[in-house]
Structure 1
Amino acid sequence: MIARIYSRRRYATPEYVAMLLDLNYLALNRVFKKLRELRVLKLCYSQDTNPGDRLVGYLYSELGDEGYAVLDDEGIELQIPEHDNNHEAHDIARDLVMLSLEIGIKEDGDLELIYRDDLPKSYELQKVNGKRQFMTPDEPPFTIRSKSTGMSRHIGGVEIETGSNGVSRKDASRAAPVQKLKRIIWLIESGELQRTHNFGKQFFWMFVFRTNIRMESVMVYLEEMTAHNPSLRKHFLFKRHPIFGKSKDKPRATGHILTEPWQRVKCEPLYLDGGKGARQ
C-alpha cells in the first residue's frame, strides 16, 4: 500500500502518508525505517549522503531498488529516475504540495482528484524560427471534481519556484516564472488551451513560491501583463510553501493546499475546496 503511493509521487514522508492513509504516525515511522532497511525505500540523496540534512524538515523517502521490484510485480512499471541534486528540493516541494492536496480531498469526502492521464502532459506553444516549442508544467494537469454536483475545477499545471529574491526589472524578460506566465497567457488567448484540453472556463494554474517577496514580485508582473485583459488574472493562483534545505519553517502534513486560500491578482482569493471565490 505504501509503495503504491510512490507510483505517482517520487518523495513522501511518514507524516504525510499517515494522514493520507489514516494510520498512526509513530507506528508508520517504524514501518518506513524497516522498509528502508529492506531497500524498498531509501532516503533522498541529500539526506542519504549527508546525515546533517536529516535534521532539516522531515525524512524524505523515495523508492529503493526493491520498491521498484515490488511495484513491477503488481504490474506498475516505473523508470528509475536519474538523480539531479539541483532539482531535489524542487521535486520534494512539488510532491508535498500534491500530497497535501490529496489529504485535503480525502478529508473533504465529496471531492475527488482526477489525474488527467488522458491529456497531453506538455503544451505546444508558438513556433520559433519554424521550430515547435513546448511547455511542460512541474505537475501535469488534473481535475478536482465534486461527486455531489459534478462541478469540476481543472488545474492546467503546478509550477514550483525555489528562488528567494524578487524578480528585478532587468531580469524579468528571462526569469522563469515570468516566462511561464507569458506562455500560459498565450495558450489562453490563442485558444490553444481550449482546443487541446477543453477546460472550459473553470481552469487555474497554481504557482508555488519559496518566499513571499518573490511571489509578490511575480504577481506585479502578471498585473502588468494582463492590463489589456484583466479577466485573465483569475486563472492564476499563488501560494508560499517551504522548500527543503532553503526555508526555516517545515511544511505542514495537512490538507491546507486544498482548504486554505490561494492569492490572486486583483481578485478574491480562491479556495480549491469550494470556499469563497471558488466560482469566480
Structure 2
Amino acid sequence: MKTRRITRERLVPHTMDGRTRMVPDEETIEVPLPPRDWDQIGLNVVTAIVALALLGCVGFSTASIGDLLNRVTPAAAAYGAAALFDLVWIGCTIIEWLGRYTPDRVRKARVGGYLSLAVAMGAVAAHGWIFGNAATGLVGAAVSGLAKGLWAVVLDYQAVPLGKRDAAFLQQELAEAAVELSRVPVRRRVNRARALAEAERIALEADRGSADPDRPDESADDPDADVLAIRPGAVSTKDAVRIAWDSGIRDDGEAVRYVAKATGKAPSPDTVARYMRLLRKVAG
C-alpha cells in the first residue's frame, strides 16, 4: 500500500522545574494513499476534450459564418453575429446540464439547442457552397455536430435516470425553494407599499390636526372640549372665524373684531390669524 508522509502539530506534556505544561510539538507520520479514481480521471479528461471541442467549434464557425456575413455587413457586425450561432446552442446545452435531474423542465432547452445547432451547421455549409467548396462546408458543419454530440453523450452519462418518486420529491423541493425565493421581492414590495401608506396616513393626520389646533400657546378664549361652556348657546372662536369667513371677511383685523363681537370677549389675534390661514389654505 502506498503511503505519504505528513507533519502535524500536537500538544504534549513538558515538565520543567517540577511544573508541567502542554506545549506544541511536531511529529511526522505516514498515512495510506487512497486508490486512484480512474473513473473520475477519465471523466475529467472527457470534460477537457469537450471544452477544447467547444472552443474549436466556436472559433471555426465564427470565422466561417463571419466571412459569409462580411459580404454584406461590416466585419465587426458580421463576426459578432456569427458568434451567436454557436453560443445559442451552447447556452441551451448548459441549461440542459443544470436541469439534468429534472428533465421535464429543460425540454424546451433541449429542442432549442438542436434547432440552433441545425441553423449553425446550415450556415457553415452554405458558406462552403457559396465559395465553391461544398465539401469544406460540410466538414466544417460537422465540427459543430461533433461537439454537440460529445456534450450530449457526457450529459447523458452524468444525468442518471431518477425514479418517479425521487423525481417527484425533487420537484417538491424545488417548488418550495422557488416559493421562498419568490417571497423576497413580494415581501419587499408589500413593505414598501405599507410604508408609503403609513407615511400618507401620518401626513393626513398631521394636516387634519393643524386644522383644529389644540396647542399650549392658544389663547384662553378658545373653548376646551373637556370643559363645559358657561353659556351653552355661545359660539367659540373657531366657529366665529368660520362664520366670518363664510360672510366674506378675509382681513384678519376685521375677523378679530367680528369674533370679539360674536363671542363677547376679545380673542387672541394670533389664534384668529392661524384659523384664517388654515381657511385660506383649504380654500386655495
TM over 0.5: no
Which is richer in strand?
A: 1
Q: Identify the TM-score tier after normalising by the shorter chain.
A: under 0.3
TM-score (norm 2): 0.22
Which is richer in helix?
A: 2
**Larger RCO of the pair (alpha carbons < 8 Å, separation 6+):** 1
TM-score (norm 1): 0.22
